[in-house]
Amino acid sequence: MRTETATMRKIKPINAMNEALDSAMAADGDVVLFGEDIGAYGGVWALSKGLQRKYGQDRVFDTPLSECAIMGACTGAAMAGLRPVIEIMYVDFMTIAMDQLVNQASKIRLMSGGAFDLPMTIIAPCGAGTCEAAQHSNSPEAWFLNTPGLKVVMPSSVRDMNGLLKSSIRDNNPVLYLWHKVLYDLEEEVSDHDLEVPLGSAAVRREGTDITVVAYSLMAHRVLESAANLDGDVSVEIIDPRTLHPFDLDMVLTSLRKTGRLLVVHESPIRCGVGADIVRRVCDSGFDLLKSAPKVLGGKDSPIPFSKPLESAVVPQVNDIESAIRSIVKA
């Protein structure tokens, strides 16, 4: 590793994403960025701060408040050979753009017999924990994982937010890149050498021997906290898949060879969810590795309510994760 010679600096998610956009735009003149409030203002999350001034209004611009038109423009621009990036201000607003993404962008490569590539990236914040109520707090990744033709990226660390965004933009497929709002003020020390992360490669967040916990986005942090609380009692290995499709099953199986026990934790609703599918994959490819029944801890069967205690009650909390881990290890 070259990290010992690198300059370290502290950055937050929005810096990581802004810098990723900056470097992608500097490297490739076909990379363009648009969406609501993205141009002069720099994005409501400050995603595009400074980029319009640097790259001009023909590459970074505001659109009308029309998610369907934004997604359609993105799809058409990608078909024309550009490499567009758009921001959907909250992932909840994707419903307005749904046809353009799941009926158009994700299917055009197939429908055209492979003639058209769709090199496009959709950035959207997701998740509960900010008391923004039912229509600004979703984690709908399972909808998109159920859509062949899309890739889904959900980083948890600041360095991954940079590296995975650059990889998403370089990818020749529609990539949905979801970052969690609760991580907005997360700060990490990074060096420029750290910031290359390919799609489809998981990361070990903590090594352990008793149980493998697969968790991504905000839940990767929450599981880390649970694991620290259980330290000395249960030895928890945490795998952060980082991208949900493509999914790094090998790293999960490698971990299970050591632990033999599996828990998947996610914030999105448990029914027909990401965890169910990860368990399916493990049962298909590594059933013999399991010493006990694999489990999933996910969001409850409820939209996200507003008031803090209600909101917290529907998504997994640190103590919920600890109980789930204990119950599996005891079994």
Q: Catalytic site residues? A: 136
Taking the complex as a whole, the smallest distance from the CB of residue 176 to other proteins amounts, in Å, to 14
Find the part of the chain contacting other proteins (CB under 8 A) among 81-89, 155-163, 195-203, 320-328. Answer: 81-89
Give just the sign of the alpha carbon dihedral 85, 87, 92, 94: negative
Please check whether residue 79 is in contact with residue 116, taking contact to mean a CB–CB distance below 8 angstroms: yes
Q: Which of 1, 2, 7, 58 binds other proteins (CB under 8 A)?
A: 58
Q: What does the block give as tokens for 208?
A: 């352990």
Cα within 13 Å of Cα(6), Cβ side: 13
Residues 142-181 that bind other proteins (CB under 8 A): 148-149, 151, 172-173
Q: Which of 26, 110, 293, 331 binds other proteins (CB under 8 A)?
A: 110
Taking the complex as a whole, the smallest distance from the CB of residue 62 to other proteins amounts, in Å, to 10
Does 40 bind other proteins (CB under 8 A)? Our answer is no
Q: What does the block give as tokens for 318?
A: 């640190």
Find the part of the chain contacting other proteins (CB under 8 A) among 116-124, 156-164, 248-256, 321-329. Answer: 116-124
Taking the complex as a whole, the smallest distance from the CB of residue 222 to other proteins amounts, in Å, to 32
Helix runs in 180-242, H state only: 218-229
With vertex at residue 220, the alpha carbon angle to CA 135 and CA 255, rounded to the nearest 5 degrees, is 135
Report the relative pairing of strands 120-126 and 243-245 from DSSP bridges. unpaired
Q: What does the block give as tokens for 254?
A: 């490698």
27 contacts: CB under 8 Å, gap ≥ 6: none
DSSP bridge partners of 60: 33
Element (DSSP H or E) covering residue 13 = helix 13-27
Find the part of the chain contacting other proteins (CB under 8 A) among 93-101, 132-140, 228-236, 261-269. Answer: 93-101
Q: Which is nearer to other proteins, 119 or 269 (CB)?
A: 119
Q: Which of 2, 115, 185, 232 binds other proteins (CB under 8 A)?
A: 115
Q: Which is nearer to other proteins, 27 or 293 (CB)?
A: 27
Q: CA 108, CA 283: separation in Å to the nearest integer?
A: 33
Please check whether residue 85 is in contact with residue 120, taking contact to mean a CB–CB distance below 8 angstroms: yes
Q: Which of 15, 18, 52, 75 binds other proteins (CB under 8 A)?
A: 75
Taking the complex as a whole, the smallest distance from the CB of residue 67 to other proteins amounts, in Å, to 8
Q: Which of 35, 40, 104, 108 is nearest to 67 (CA)?
A: 35
Does 74 bind other proteins (CB under 8 A)? Our answer is yes
Q: Which of 150, 153, 139, 141 is nearest to 202 (CA)?
A: 153
Does 8 bind other proteins (CB under 8 A)? Our answer is no
Q: Which is nearer to other proteins, 63 or 217 (CB)?
A: 63
Find the part of the chain contacting other proteins (CB under 8 A) among 97-105, 182-190, 254-262, 302-310. Answer: 97-105
Does 71 bind other proteins (CB under 8 A)? Our answer is yes
- By CB under 8 A, name the binding residues for other proteins: 32, 58-59, 63-64, 66, 68-69, 71-82, 84, 96, 99-100, 103-104, 108-119, 148-149, 151, 172-173
